[in-house]
Structure 1
């Protein structure tokens, strides 16, 4: 079983392709093997990065500094997996409504940045509201369509690679100062993107969310243990 799952994972990474996920209830063994592989990978990567962090004097991430224990647990183990998996991998099946929501989310994010930078605040605020409305209307119009666009299916390997890269690089924002020495620190997220992307395509978004939550819970428990 383990060899079969690992061989399939390796083959899929060598040639990422658009597939129809099967229900998680039929793939718990695959999910368990991949979760174990993911956690083992985190241990190895964590050991390497700990040495890198000490050698290069990389500051600790500050994304969740100042939060109480219960709030931190909810944010890391519940909110982050649901939000990040939906944003970075929810659209990987190429369903038109998911691609539309992703496009609207990107535009809405740009509008919020414009507001934060005080660049045409009023227009950006109105654009943000209009984007939310367009997202809802588009979802209602496209909700019955399930076939991915041809351009998405043909370029799936590119879209998958982008989802992994953007997911990893976005976590550089966790650090107080951005520099080249911080780039290797997102290797855990790069590894996570590969594993979670595979699980999302094999057994759906719930599978990747659960793996993400378990991984975050393990990392949080280890961080709290070390800090005490």
Structure 2
């Protein structure tokens, strides 16, 4: 498919087709023919739906049920807010939620090691577990390095991963959304719609990750975060 074939209509058709049956794809990166245009249309779609539909409805939901605004941003010094939202969050969240969605042995093993590393940091919050946390962290780092060296020559997705990927895709998007409930300092059924923006973004970013590649998903995530935080800072 050439650049001229990639109209908004064809990109939207590809996206809705992917949502009907998510699948592991080879990607190709932003250097592949047409992928810059595809990335532009998909990122524009994500931002337009967020700003034009989801966020206005979200404000009405907050007003109707007296739900709070996000409090997570208050935890950051002002000078760190934009770099955290526009750079750190997109990179870390895409690696954690979509970096492993190639389904390769290497990617899934690194996900296990990342989970162990996160567990080490959680353990370290309790002083009596500090030594165990250090051992677990070192084991996670060593395991990640060893696994990458051993498994990196087997890039294809595992059979079971490809077979169950539709469920994996939607579960990952839902989990990506639900962890953002922490932004509001509340967790209740009435608050779940507050993370619809993240669920929508997870669907689009998951498609970008498969259709184009991980770095394209990181870039789209950064653009969406930059636009929303920019508007938030500009209009309070």
TM-score (norm 1): 0.94
- Equivalent of residue 83 in structure 1, options 92, 105, 109: 92
Q: 1:71 to 1:115 in 2, by over 3 A?
A: closer
- Equivalent of residue 142 in structure 2, options 113, 133, 145: 133
Cα distance in 2 for partners of 1:104, 1:53 equals 38
TM-score (norm 2): 0.91
Aligned residues: 227
Contact map agreement 2:209 2:217 (CA 8 A) in 1: yes
> Hey, what does 2:20 align to over in structure 1?
14
- Equivalent of residue 229 in structure 2, options 220, 223, 227: 220
Cα distance in 2 for partners of 1:66, 1:116 equals 18
The alpha-carbon deviation at position 163 of structure 1 amounts to 1.3
> Hey, what does 1:58 align to over in structure 2?
67
> Residues 58-207 of structure 1: matches in 2 within 5 Å?
58-117=67-126, 120-207=129-216
1:84-135 CA-partner distances (Å, limit 9, x unpaired): 1111111111122111111111122223323325674433432222122111
> Hey, what does 2:55 align to over in structure 1?
46
Consecutive unaligned residues in structure 2, runs of 5 or more: 1-6
Consecutive unaligned residues in structure 1, runs of 5 or more: none
The alpha-carbon deviation at position 69 of structure 1 amounts to 3.8
Cα distance in 2 for partners of 1:179, 1:119 equals 32
Matched, 1:29 2:11: no
The alpha-carbon deviation at position 61 of structure 1 amounts to 1.2
> Hey, what does 1:208 align to over in structure 2?
217
